[in-house]
Structure 1
Amino acid sequence: MLTAITNSWALLLGVAFLMLGNGLQSTVLGVRASMEGFSTEATGVVMTCYFVGYLVGSFVTPKALSRVGHVRVFAALASLSSASALLHAVFIDPYAWAAMRLITGFCFAGLYIVAESWLNDSATNETRGQLLSIYMIVLYGCVALGQLMINISDPGSFTPFVLMSVVVSLALVPTALTAAQVPAFESPSPVSLRRVYEISPLGFVCAFGVGVAQAQIFGIGSIYGGELNMSPKDISLFMGAVSIGGVILQFPIGKASDAFDRRIVLIVVSLLAGVVALSLNLFSGPEATPMFLISALLFGALCMPLYSLAIAHTNDRLEASEIVAATSALIVIGGVGAVIGPITSSFLIGEFGPNSYVYSLSLTLLMIGFFGVYRMTVRESVPIADQGDYIGVPLESSTMVVTMTPEGEEWYEEVIAEAEAEAEAEAEHAYVQAHPELGLVESEAATASEHHEMLEDGPGFWEDENEETTEPEDPKKSESH
């Protein structure tokens, strides 16, 4: 494990810087939008644009990787994201911010794809699952730290936007200087959404619902805090508590889902998350009290693992050859839910006040649980002995994270073997083109070999066709002819 971390420290450090910038930006924009007098609905649209850009970038980036490579794509996207962070402070306007958030989401989708494919290539079959766990801790931990960074600068000034730009730019340093080999890249092709629903209706609904809920948390959480008249410090503590919570129960919930009926675990966790969400309203106010922060921490701890439970539950219904494609489709489904969540929640807050934010979160999660209860009356559970292993997967990730799961190892190894064979064939072809005389010799040798084989096979061929034989006919030979 230590070797895996040593080999991947530069990539993990680059991801850490990215998440610091991402966490800081999502919190600062919500606070600053309120200071500038943006309507709740307009701010919601701004935040939604990030997830729209993210969804688009997840489809476009693989094409760019195949053309210009990992290092150039990572450098271009990190630079563009860094520039867009600064432009938020230059053009303080909802339309300009929406455009910048769209660009930021697009860039981060590509940055995740590059980082995860590189990270996966540096792992072995023995360390891949552990490396994925560390990757999740880095993601959620650094998002929480980024949200707390609002306390070292005035959100009404230019400073936090400079900090965003600096930390995103710093992600380039360890990544550009890493000695890791550029990996072969092949994005999994997701199956149709209809097919995924047919395989596992509960997995589909859960992935979509969790996408809605988690996008509400990270996209609208700071707006919710602002509507409660919280200070920037209290907003950052609230958002940081939810993010840290996303890490602390991943392992216990995963172990429980491996040991018991996974569908029951999913139902219980989603219902508890919905109930705990309601407790936020009981303790909410202009100050982030200890009870409010404890509720936020517990809510994050219950809500964040649901996405991984949806993937694990769906995989239990699949053949091994279908897992990579279906999991990729679930990531897309979660992304679609993430587009819907923030804009819906912001309009509810604008119409009915901040409490509607919590009611929306709670209702989404309770509906997942109730749908799971309904599914238990329609279909039998997968036997515990036939369940696969739970693997924690962050919602804001690319389809490349699938290859870091045990189920994706075989698929990834096949991709690498095909890429190496193709590269070897291209190199051989290029060498022959550069030395035509060798190609002529090889061609003559191949012709002679074929001629020799024809001479050897010839007598048997003519004997089969033209000569009668008293030996009984072999059925296997008849089938082959």
Structure 2
Amino acid sequence: MFDAIKSAWALFLGLAFIMLGNGLQGSLVAVRAQFEVFNTSVIGFVMAGYFVGFFLGSIIVPRLVGRVGHVRVFGALASLASFGVLVYPIFVDPIAWFLIRVLTGVCYAGLYIICESWLNDRATNETRGQLLSVYMIISLLGMGGGQYLLNLYSPADFQLFTIVSVLISLSVVPVLVSAARVPEFEAPETMGPLRLYKASPLGVVSMFLVGTSAGVVMGMGPSFAYQQGLTIAEVSVFMSAIFVGGFIFTWPIGKLSDIMDRRTVIMIAAVAAVAAGAFGASLGNDNKLLVFIAVGLAGGVTFPIYSLSIAYTNDYLSPKQMVAASSALVMTNGLGAMLGPNIGAGAMELFGPSGFYITIAGIHVAMAAFALWRMTRRAALPAEEQGTFVAVPRTSAMAATMSPEYDHPEDDLVEEEQDLEPMDDLPEPPESAEETSPTEHEGGIKDGKQ
């Protein structure tokens, strides 16, 4: 583990700065919007901009990297992200803020993709899982830790925006200094939505719904906390509790899914989210500890569903298809996240602040019902035929494709090259894989599981 960290410590340091800045920026914009007396539906519109940009960036940035290269694109995106956050206090207007959020989303999607590409290049079959686990921890702790920076200055002033800009700028130094070798870059392949849904209806639907839920929590959570009368310090604790819950529950729930039908675990997690939502909606702001516990439970049981959906879908795919499927699932999650803040804001306009939790509960009622229905439509896989659960950061499709469960042919090539010794008079290799094994299954949805 320590050798794996040592090989990529500079990348992890840069990613930590990026996560801290992103964690601070999301809550800062939402709270500042409350200070500027934006109504709730407008705040939902503004906050959705980040997820729109992130979705667009996941499509655009890989093409830019292929044309221009990692270093130039990373530097350009970091500069744009650093610039964008400084514009908020200058142009206090919902449309301007929405556009800045879109720009920020595009930039962060690109920063994640490029860092994860470099990280993936550092990984081997032996260290890939360890690096992904460390990245997951840094992601949760960085985003959660960024919430506490909200207390350094008043959100009504400009200093906190400057701090976000500084953090983004600092992230460039360790990342670019450590990236001595530019890896070959290929945008993750994707799978058609109909084919993916045919392979795993629950995986697609749960990924979309958990994306919607994440959009509600991350987009409207700070506004809900502020409207409930929490102080800025308490808003920080409220938002960080979401990530602490995710950190605590992700691995136990994941390991449980390795020995049980994953559909059952998804349904249990969704029902728990409904219970956490109902509990949170019933609370006032008199007992702050219960308020923090409620949102921590909501974050704790919903965060693992992202990785569970990927793991469940992969159980019905061949290793060669997992990369394309994971990329498509992440995009599906992004579509849901774009809708989340607006749905949550609409519910808060209709029901008051409790609409925040009502939305979370309603989304997971739908997920639990769909999971239960799917359990009547297809027999469960035996536990020994399921893959191993891997916790995946909720960043880009590149992170989702780093799982050691996937087919990583580049690692096999490296190992083969190291094992080969020079030999004379070797026979000519066949021109194609079909000549070597004409009857071999070419990969596809696993036999008998469709």
TM-score of the aligned structures, taking structure 1 as reference length: 0.84
Moved more, 176-185 or 303-312: 176-185
Q: 1:314-353, aligned counterparts within 5 Å?
A: 314-353=313-352
Deviations 1:321-360 (A, max 9, x none): 2111111110110000000111111122123211111011
Deviation at 1:414, TM superposition (A): 7.4
CA distance in structure 2 between the aligned counterparts of 1:214 and 1:193, rounded to whole angstroms: 21
Deviation at 1:403, TM superposition (A): 3.1
Partner of 1:309: 308
CA contact 2:319–2:407 (8 Å) conserved in 1? no
Deviations 1:259-289 (A, max 9, x none): 122211111111112211221123332x671
CA distance in structure 2 between the aligned counterparts of 1:112 and 1:70, rounded to whole angstroms: 12
Verify: 1:403 aligned to 2:420, yes or no.
no
Deviation at 1:170, TM superposition (A): 0.6
Partner of 1:136: 136
CA contact 2:266–2:308 (8 Å) conserved in 1? yes
CA distance in structure 1 between the aligned counterparts of 2:335 and 2:410, rounded to whole angstroms: 26
Partner of 2:66: 66
CA distance in structure 2 between the aligned counterparts of 1:414 and 1:89, rounded to whole angstroms: 51
Partner of 1:445: none
Partner of 1:88: 88
Partner of 1:292: 291
Name whichever structure is richer in helix by fraction: 1
Q: Could you say if the C-alpha distance between residues 241 and 119 of structure 1 is closer, same or farther in structure 2, counting changes exceeding 3 Å?
A: same
Partner of 2:372: 373
CA distance in structure 2 between the aligned counterparts of 1:64 and 1:40, rounded to whole angstroms: 36
Deviation at 1:69, TM superposition (A): 1.2
TM-score of the aligned structures, taking structure 2 as reference length: 0.90
Q: Could you say if the C-alpha distance between residues 288 and 189 of structure 1 is closer, same or farther in structure 2, counting changes exceeding 3 Å?
A: farther
CA distance in structure 2 between the aligned counterparts of 1:383 and 1:257, rounded to whole angstroms: 12
Instruction: Give the letter for the 2:188 counterpart.
Output: P
Look up the SS of the partner of 1:37 in the other structure.
coil
Q: 1:51-450, aligned counterparts within 5 Å?
A: 51-285=51-285, 289-395=288-394, 397-413=395-411
Deviation at 1:372, TM superposition (A): 0.7
Moved more, 159-168 or 406-415: 406-415
Deviations 1:68-92 (A, max 9, x none): 2111111111111011011111111
CA contact 2:273–2:360 (8 Å) conserved in 1? no
Count the aligned residue pairs: 416
Deviation at 1:183, TM superposition (A): 1.1
Deviation at 1:407, TM superposition (A): 2.9
Could you list the runs of 5+ residues in structure 2 that have no partner in the other structure?
418-450
CA contact 2:144–2:240 (8 Å) conserved in 1? yes
CA contact 2:57–2:105 (8 Å) conserved in 1? yes
Instruction: Give the letter for the 2:46 counterpart.
Output: V
CA distance in structure 2 between the aligned counterparts of 1:278 and 1:137, rounded to whole angstroms: 29
CA distance in structure 2 between the aligned counterparts of 1:378 and 1:66, rounded to whole angstroms: 43
Percent of aligned pairs with the same amino acid:
42
CA distance in structure 2 between the aligned counterparts of 1:96 and 1:288, rounded to whole angstroms: 37
CA distance in structure 2 between the aligned counterparts of 1:32 and 1:414, rounded to whole angstroms: 51
CA contact 1:403–1:411 (8 Å) conserved in 2? no
CA distance in structure 2 between the aligned counterparts of 1:399 and 1:278, rounded to whole angstroms: 32
CA distance in structure 2 between the aligned counterparts of 1:184 and 1:222, rounded to whole angstroms: 40
CA contact 1:220–1:345 (8 Å) conserved in 2? yes
CA distance in structure 1 between the aligned counterparts of 2:64 and 2:255, rounded to whole angstroms: 38
CA distance in structure 2 between the aligned counterparts of 1:383 and 1:11, rounded to whole angstroms: 39
Partner of 1:459: none
Instruction: Give the letter for the 2:97 counterpart.
Output: W
Deviation at 1:29, TM superposition (A): 0.9
Write out the 4+ residue segments of structure 1 that deviate beyond 6 Å after TM superposition: 414-417
Instruction: Give the letter for the 1:333 counterpart.
Output: T
Deviations 1:342-400 (A, max 9, x none): 111112212321111101101111211111111111111111111001111123x2121
CA distance in structure 2 between the aligned counterparts of 1:408 and 1:350, rounded to whole angstroms: 44
Deviation at 1:229, TM superposition (A): 2.2
Could you list the runs of 5+ residues in structure 1 that have no partner in the other structure?
421-481
Q: 1:464-479, aligned counterparts within 5 Å?
A: none
Q: Could you say if the C-alpha distance between residues 379 and 246 of structure 1 is closer, same or farther in structure 2, counting changes exceeding 3 Å?
A: same
CA contact 1:255–1:390 (8 Å) conserved in 2? yes
CA contact 2:40–2:349 (8 Å) conserved in 1? yes
Instruction: Give the letter for the 2:39 counterpart.
Output: S
Instruction: Give the letter for the 2:406 counterpart.
Output: G
Deviations 1:207-228 (A, max 9, x none): 0000000111111101111221
CA contact 2:144–2:243 (8 Å) conserved in 1? yes
Deviations 1:272-326 (A, max 9, x none): 12211221123332x6711211222222111100011011111111122211111
Partner of 2:36: 36
Q: Could you say if the C-alpha distance between residues 112 and 384 of structure 1 is closer, same or farther in structure 2, counting changes exceeding 3 Å?
A: same
CA contact 1:328–1:402 (8 Å) conserved in 2? yes
CA distance in structure 1 between the aligned counterparts of 2:152 and 2:72, rounded to whole angstroms: 33
Over the aligned positions, Cα root-mean-square deviation in angstroms equals 1.6
Deviations 1:168-222 (A, max 9, x none): 1110111121154211111222111111111111111100000000111111101
